[in-house]
Structure 1
Amino acid sequence: MAGTPDATSSSHLERKGTKAGVCTEFTVFAKIKPGHADALRELLAKTTSGSGDTAGNVEAVRQLGILHDARHVIFDNDTRYMFASVFDGTWDNYIDDFGKTVVGKLFDEAFSHTEGFPGVTDPGVKDWFIAHQEPAGIFVSAYPDLTVQQIYKDQRVDEAFQEVLDTPEFRAMLDNPASAELRETPAFQKLLEEASA
């Protein structure tokens, strides 16, 4: 299922990004400053290798609570850089929220190696992103109706349910003849099938 472009207008330039349900994709292409590709590559490697603050980045992403995923790519013989992500909510809030976390620091460091980037906290940063953003021609999500917060909640519910399933009390309840009617319902059978999958 292809998404539809987000054509929200404001007093600034048009916000871009293709939507799939509650998710919006964000893809930015920038020119790397001459001689900066190795420093950018080193920064990205440090961030993902564990020698950087990866725990802090993961925690910041959880605090943002709207970011599904993100990718950083150096390409075209070290002359271009791509950042791509998928998020919930509005484009403006997404950009604003990045400046409030350690992720904003990574943005600043990474994009400082590209031409013309004003900095995450600069008032012109949104216009810069818009000028360098290209919407996806096709954007598909495996879970278009689930926000990051709903996915986190589903994980917590699943973990709690799995703990209940592992208790002797639950097994005793299932073995109790008084529970036979509940055990035979299609909804309960489906629940048990999903739990064991």
Structure 2
Amino acid sequence: MTATTGATQSAHPERPGRSDGVCNEFTVFTKIKPGHADALREDLATLADAADDEKVHAAVRQIGTLHDARHVIFDNDTRFMFASVFDGSWDTYIDDFAQTVVGARFDKVFSHSEGFPGVKDPGVKDWFVAHQEPAGVFVSAYPDLTVQQIYKDQRVDDAFQEVLDTPEFRAALENPANAELVATPAFQKLLEEASA
């Protein structure tokens, strides 16, 4: 599959952005208010320091659809870019930010952009649409996995790894009564993947 064949236009033609499987891209370009670049840079540094903050990760988990996000100041401190990848509907994605601690941080960062009305303002979606630019090409490494599926896969893997480390599991592998199951290609593949 080439990059361009996997990416399609959004299911909502009024909402810019491309999708690849369940993943959607969101990229916004704004003008930084004159004299605000240093304050924006400070707010982004605070945001970066808070990235390890449990409240931020809890809010991202609460939103449950955000794969990643990044903020960039460019064009000699005159422009700002926010880009992210998310699952589901564009409208729900924007709505979800206003419901968590992420919304307040979003407001603080975008307050340095010209005309930003605030994440809870009824006109914020129109503002984002006016500043959003769809990617020319968008490809996801895992187009069929939502954030929730990735979280589940991680929980299952953690639990499975915990089982693999028990003496009881080793004993079960060595028990002749289980030899037929252990010899199956599926079980061997499972063990091989678990040890990779």
TM-score range, shorter chain: over 0.9
Give the match for residue 186 of structure 1: 185
Give the match for residue 8 of structure 1: 12
Give the match for residue 47 of structure 2: 47
Question: How far apart are 1:115 and its partner, in Å?
Answer: 0.3
Instruction: Give me the TM-score of the superposition, normalised by structure 1.
Output: 0.95
Identity %: 76
Give 1:27-106 correspondences, 5 Å limit: 27-50=27-50, 54-106=53-105
Residue 20 of structure 1 pairs with residue 20 of structure 2: yes
Q: Distance in 1 between matches of 2:116 and 2:177?
A: 68
Residue 162 of structure 1 pairs with residue 166 of structure 2: no
Q: Deviations over 1:59-97 (max 9, x none)?
A: 110110000000000000000000000000100000001
Q: Distance in 1 between matches of 2:18 and 2:171?
A: 50
Give the direction of change, closer, same or farther, for the CA distance of 1:99–1:53 in structure 2 (3 Å limit).
farther
Residue identity opposite 1:72 in structure 2: H
Residue identity opposite 1:106 in structure 2: R
Q: Which runs of 5+ in 1 are unaligned?
A: none
Q: Distance in 2 between matches of 1:53 and 1:191?
A: 33
Q: Distance in 2 between matches of 1:140 and 1:84?
A: 14
The 3-state SS of whatever aligns with 2:171 is helix
Q: Which runs of 5+ in 2 are unaligned?
A: none
The 3-state SS of whatever aligns with 1:135 is coil
CA contact (8 A) 1:20 1:144 kept: yes
The 3-state SS of whatever aligns with 2:150 is helix
Give the match for residue 139 of structure 1: 138
Q: Distance in 1 between matches of 2:122 and 2:115?
A: 14
Give the direction of change, closer, same or farther, for the CA distance of 1:75–1:58 in structure 2 (3 Å limit).
same
The 3-state SS of whatever aligns with 2:126 is helix
Q: Distance in 2 between matches of 1:33 and 1:99?
A: 23
Q: Distance in 2 between matches of 1:142 and 1:185?
A: 30
- The runs of at least 4 aligned residues of structure 1 exceeding 2 Å deviation read 52-55
Instruction: Give me the TM-score of the superposition, normalised by structure 2.
Output: 0.95
Residue identity opposite 1:114 in structure 2: S
The 3-state SS of whatever aligns with 2:26 is strand
Q: Distance in 1 between matches of 2:172 and 2:11?
A: 54
Q: Distance in 1 between matches of 2:53 and 2:95?
A: 21
Residue identity opposite 2:9 in structure 1: P
Question: How far apart are 1:53 and its partner, in Å?
Answer: 7.8
Q: Deviations over 1:77-132 (max 9, x none)?
A: 00000000000010000000100011111111111001000110111100000000
Residue identity opposite 2:192 in structure 1: E
CA contact (8 A) 1:7 1:16 kept: no
Give the match for residue 195 of structure 2: 196
